[in-house]
Homo-oligomer: A and B are copies of this chain.
Amino acid sequence: MNVVRSIVSSGGGRAKLINVFPWVTSPLIVGAPMRVMSGPHLALAVSKAGGLGFIGPGAKPEDTGTDLKTVRELLKSATGTSFSGWSQNGEKLPVGVGFQLWNGDLDSAAKAVKEHQPCAAWLFAPRRGQEELDDWTARLRAVSPGIHIWIQVGTLKESVEAANSAHRPDVLVIQGAEAGGHGRATDGMGIMALFPEVADQVRDSGMLLIAAGGIADGRGIAAALALGANGVAMGTRFLASTEARISKGYQEEVVRATDGAQSTTKTMLYNHLRGTVGWPQQYSPRGIVNKSWQDHQAGVPFEELKKLHDEAAKSGDEGWGPDGRLATYAGAAIGLVHSVEDADIIVKRSQNEAVAIIKNLQNDL
C-alpha cells in the first residue's frame, strides 16, 4: 500500500477541483448543505470567500428553486468581487445545492437545477441506496450537463458502491461520526480511521474526496489534507456565521456549548419531538443535549416531553440552551466554535491557519 503515492495523486485531485470551480482557493473549504440553515446568503458568502458554498434542502422541495433564484439575484449586485458579471455569462452558479433523497422530490429538484444551474449537487440519504443515487445523478446530469455530482457517505460499503456505479459521482464526501445533524446511526466511525480506509478502497475511481465531521478550524483542515482529502466540508462552524439562516437562540447555544463528546449525542428523540418521522433507520442526527434529553434519560414519557417541547417551541429563542427543549443539531466540534462571525472571516482565517500549520510542520521536520 503506497500511502505516499496516494497523497501525491490527491494533490493532482486538488488541482482538478480548482479547474472545476475556478474561484476556489486552496485549501478548499466547503460550506455543507445544512437543511434550511445553509441558505443562499451563507452559500454565496462561502463561495465569495474562495470556498464552495452549498444551499441545504429547504423545508419544502420548492424552496430549493426559490433559494437558487435568490443566489442569482444576489449575484447581480456582486460587483467588485470575483463574481461580478457572473449571472450574465451563462456559466453555472458558483454555489452547489444539497438534496435529501429519502423525502426529496426528483422532479422538483431537476426543475430547479435545470432552471438555475447550480455548479454542483450534493446527494444524501437515499432510501434505496446506490440505485436511488444513480437515478438522481442521471437525471441531474441530463438536465444540467457538467453539473458536479457529490455524494455523502459514512461507510466503506457506500463508498465502494459509489465508486463502482455506472453513475459514479465526481466527489465523495466522507463523513465521520463527529459530524452534526444526520449521519450514520450505528455504523459510523471517526474520520481519522474512516477516511484513509475509504481512500484506499476507492483510489482508482478518480473521485475526489472531501472530509467532513468534526472539522471547525485550520487544524482540522490541515489534518484532513494529511489524511488525503482534496478539501473539507464544515457545517457546525457555519451555524455560527452571520449569514446562517438560523434562530438566534439556536446559534447562541452553538457558541455557548463546549465539550462536544459530553454535550452532544446521536438520538432520534429530537426528530420525533419535532414530528419529523420517516428517516431511513441507518441515519441518526447528532445534536446538543438539553432538558428534553435529560428528561428522556430520566424516564419521562414521550407524550410529556412532546408537550413540554411544543410549549418551548412557542417561547422563541428561549427554547434553546441548556434549559431549553428544542432540537439543536450540531457536531462534536462545537467546543471549537466561540463566536458568530462572517462566513468570509471563517473561511479565510481557517485557510490561513491550515497553511501556517503545514508550513510549521515542514519547518519542524
Instruction: For residue A232, give the distance in angstroms from its CB to the closest CB of chain B.
Output: 10
Q: How far is the CA of A355 from the CA of B364 in the complex (A)?
A: 10
Determine if B197 and A7 form an interchain contact, defined as CB atoms under 8 angstroms apart.
no
Q: Give per-residue flags for A189-201: 1 if the beta carbon is below 8 A from chain B beta carbons, else 0.
A: 1111110110010
A260 sits at the interface (CB 8 A): yes
The answer to whether residues A7 and B360 also contact, given A193-B214, A262-B156, A331-B193 and a CB cut-off of 8 A, is yes
Q: What is the size category of the interface that chain A forms with chain B?
A: 35 or more
Q: How many copies does the complex hold?
A: 2
Interface residues of A in 314-336 (CB under 8 A from B): 331-333, 335-336
Chain A contact residues: helix, strand, loop or mixed:
helix
> What is the bound-complex CA distance between A200 and B218, given in angstroms?
13
> Counting CB contacts under 8 A, is A222 at the interface?
yes
Bound: A222/B217 CA distance, A: 16
Q: Which of A11, A157, A335, A352 is most buried by chain B, counting CB atoms within 10 A of its CB?
A: A335
Decide if A26 is an interface residue (CB 8 Å cutoff). yes
Q: Which residue of the partner chain, among B156, B223, B362, contacts A227 with CB atoms under 8 Å? A: B223
Query: Is A100 interfacial (CB-CB < 8 Å)?
Result: no
Q: Closest CB-CB distance, A347 to chain B, in whole Å?
A: 15
- Nearest B residue to A261, CB-CB: B189
The 10 closest A-B pairs by CB, nearest first: A190-B190, A189-B261, A193-B214, A222-B226, A197-B335, A192-B214, A223-B223, A193-B332, A223-B226, A178-B193
